[in-house]
Amino acid sequence: MLKPEHRVVLLQHGGLADLSGKTGLTLLRYRRGPVVAVVDPTQAGRSLRAVCGIERDVPVVGSLAEALAYGPEVAVVGLAPSGGRLPEPVRADLAAALRAGLSVASGLHSRIGDDPELAPLRRDPAWIWDLRREPEGLVVAAARAAALPCRRLLAVGSDMAVGKMSACLELAAAAGRQGLAARFVGTGQAGILISGQGVALDAVRVDYAAGAVEAAVLAAGADLGADGLLLVEGQGSLAHPGSTATLPLIRGSQPTALLLVHRAGQRHIKGLPELPIPPLPELITAVEAVAALGRPDGLRPRVKAVALNTGHLDETAASAAIAGVAADTGLPCTDVVRGGAESLLAALIP
């Protein structure tokens, strides 16, 4: 639905300065197409650089009505609130967008196209894209992706929201700069909005989750040769008691290599201080053991590198953290957002 050339307005409503707006923040950082305005009444008039450190010249306004002056075509919900429900302030601006003839894209569990108040406001030829839907025609996974000739990299995390998608997108960009054939498979709302393909994994019934990943990987990798690289966005973590996403991603993608993503200095699952994150070497051993099961090819995928999220550290502390993780794991390690992904790409594609 959302094309690269579409002029987008992001509905951030209080999420421009924190992780509740991670979908929109990711689009601001990685979307190549135009983002003409951001709606966030709490930050109106400020620059993106001042609020969230993103170097992109996009006006921040207080309402959708103000954003119309910049000529948007699609209003994208940039929030990812707990539970995926539509906040009331966003509802009001979505109504204004639909009345103005804009199309709407949303990754929330609250479906705009099923909303009895919002859906009738759509005007042809505008569309409503609720991307958090279970695909049709799903089947149980059967390790079919193992037959693809391309290399398949899956990002796995020590916790949720540590930067798995960003790491994959940075690697895809680095591959592109080197002329390598690389594709990104989105498995969450932001990744799908950026790439235009993938599967919203948390909208799929658990029995079909691995099959949904398998179908997305097969579609994206169908014409990639042996030198091609398929980057599969990770979700959740084997270390998180509330996460069910990592196992179906491993099963469905049949990865040939793994990338561990971790936030520097994080010792426990976010919000659950009683649940420590295992030492990274132990976590790597566990992930590799799981990834070696359920494979028809006998391959034992290895964690080839560590992408370390150091966004909360200054340069000196970040360098020390990277060196420490490299020493602890014996693997190449860097912050791909801060320093580029070329060194990790070299480790992943020897």
Quick one: pLDDT band at residue 83, thresholds 50, 70, 90?
Answer: low
Task: DSSP letter for 263, please.
Answer: E
Q: How far apart are CA 118 and CA 96, in angstroms?
A: 10
pLDDT, tens digit, 9 for 90 and up, residues 8-31: 999 999 999 988 898 999 999 999
Q: Is the pLDDT at 84 greater than 90, yes or no?
A: no
Report the predicted TM-score, pTM, of the whole model to 2 decimal places: 0.92
Q: What is the pLDDT of residues 230-241, one digit of tens each?
A: 999 999 999 999
Query: Among residues of the chain, what percentage have pLDDT more than 70?
Result: 99
pLDDT at 188 over 80: yes
Residue 263 has pLDDT above 70, yes or no: yes
Digit-coded pLDDT (tens) for 191-218: 999 987 799 999 999 999 999 999 999 9
Residue 147 clears pLDDT 80, i.e. is over it: yes
Mean pLDDT of 325-333: 98
Q: Helix (H, G, I), strand (E, B), or coil: what is residue 43?
A: coil
Contact 8, 27 (CB under 8 A): yes
Distance between CA atoms of 93 and 96, rounded to whole angstroms?
Answer: 5
CA end-to-end distance (rounded Å), the chain: 36
The token duo for 205 is 């019934």
Q: Residue 183's pLDDT is what?
A: 95
The pair phi, psi for residue 276, each rounded to 5°, is -70, 150
Please give the domain boundaries of the chain with CATH numbers for all domains.
8-130 (3.40.50.720), 144-348 (3.40.50.300)
pLDDT of 324 above 90 = yes
The pLDDT of residue 246? 97
Average pLDDT along the chain = 95
**Rounded distance, CA 14 to CA 346, Å?**
39
Q: Helices 22-30 & 164-177, crossing angle to 10 degrees? A: 10
Question: Is residue 210 packed enough to be buried (19+ CB in 10 Å), middle (13-18) or exposed (0-12)?
Answer: buried
